[in-house]
Structure 1
Amino acid sequence: MYLLQHVELQVPSPKQDEVLLKMEATSINPFDLRIQKGIVWPFLPRKFPHIPGTYHLSLHLQTLHFSSMPNISNAYFRSSAKEFFVGAGIDAAGEVFEVGSGVKNFKAGDKVVAVLFVSRHSYSSGLCYSDLSASICYMFDNMHQTRVSDTNTSCRHRFKSLAMANYYEYILQRQNICGGGLAEFAVAKENLTVSRPPEVTAFQGAALPIAGLAAHECLIRTPGFNYEKTGQQLNLLITAASGGVGQYAVQLAKLGNAHVTATCGARNLDLVKSLGADEVIDYKTPDGAALKSPSGRKYDAVIHCATGFPWSTFKLNLSTNGKVFDITPTPSVFMTYALQKLTFSKKQFVPLLMTPKKEKLDFLLNLVKEGKIKAVSDSIHPLSKAEEAWAKSIDGHATGKIIVEP
Structure 2
Amino acid sequence: MEKKLMRAVQYNAYGGGSNALKHVEVPIPSPSKDEVLIKLEAASINPFDWKVQKRMLWPILPPKFPYIPCTDIAGEVMEVGKGVKKFKAGDKVVGFVSPFSGGGLAEFAIVKECLTASRPPEITASECAGLPVAGLTALQALSQSIGIKLDGSGERKNILVTAASGGVGHYAVQLAKLGNTHVTATCGARNIEFVKSLGADEVIDYKTSDGAALKSPSGKKYDAVIHCAVGVPWSTFEPNLSTNGKVVDITPSSSSMMTFALKKLTFSRKQLVPLLLVPKGKDLQYLVDLVKQGKLRTVIDSKYPITKAEDGWAKSIDGHATGKIIFEF
1:88 corresponds to which residue? 69
Percent pairwise identity: 64
Letter aligned with residue 56 of structure 1 = P
Task: Show CA shifts across 1:341-387 (max 9, x none).
Answer: 11111111111111101111111110001010101001000000000
1:24 corresponds to which residue? 41
Name the TM-score, length of structure 1 as normaliser: 0.75
Matches within 5 A, 1:138-149: none
Q: Secondary structure at the match of 1:14?
A: coil
Name the TM-score, length of structure 2 as normaliser: 0.92
Q: Indicate which of 131, 149, 159 corresponds to 1:226.
A: 149
Larger of the two Rg values belongs to structure: 1
2:30 corresponds to which residue? 13
Q: Secondary structure at the match of 1:7?
A: strand
- Partners of 2:154 and 2:96 in 1: CA distance: 33
Letter aligned with residue 105 of structure 1 = K
Letter aligned with residue 221 of structure 1 = Q
Contact 2:246/2:273, CA 8 A, preserved across alignment: yes
- Partners of 2:180 and 2:29 in 1: CA distance: 45
Q: Secondary structure at the match of 2:25?
A: coil
Contact 1:31/1:328, CA 8 A, preserved across alignment: no
Report how many aligned residue pairs link the two structures. 312
2:325 corresponds to which residue? 402
1:260 corresponds to which residue? 183
How many Å apart are 1:228 and its aligned residue? 2.7
1:103 corresponds to which residue? 84
How many Å apart are 1:27 and its aligned residue? 0.4
How many Å apart are 1:89 and its aligned residue? 1.3
What is the Cα-based RMSD across aligned positions, in Å? Answer: 1.4
Task: Show CA shifts across 1:2-54 (max 9, x none).
Answer: 32111110111111211111000010001222222122445x54xxxxxxxxx
- Partners of 1:380 and 1:11 in 2: CA distance: 24
User: Which stretch shifts more, 236-245 or 3-12?
Assistant: 3-12
2:166 corresponds to which residue? 243
1:50 corresponds to which residue? none
Q: Indicate which of 181, 192, 202 corresponds to 1:279.
A: 202
1:290 corresponds to which residue? 213
How many Å apart are 1:328 and its aligned residue? 1.0
Letter aligned with residue 265 of structure 2 = L
- Per residue, is there more helix in 1 or in 2? 2
1:56 corresponds to which residue? 63
Change (3 A) 1:405 1:258: same
- Partners of 2:239 and 2:298 in 1: CA distance: 33
How many Å apart are 1:258 and its aligned residue? 0.6
Letter aligned with residue 149 of structure 2 = N
Please state if 1:113 is matched with 2:94: yes
Contact 1:224/1:232, CA 8 A, preserved across alignment: no
- Partners of 1:334 and 1:87 in 2: CA distance: 29
Letter aligned with residue 290 of structure 1 = A
- Partners of 2:84 and 2:159 in 1: CA distance: 41
User: Which consecutive unaligned segments of at least 5 residues does structure 1 have?
Assistant: 46-54, 58-71, 74-85, 119-174
- Partners of 1:295 and 1:403 in 2: CA distance: 36
How many Å apart are 1:203 and its aligned residue? 0.7
2:108 corresponds to which residue? 185
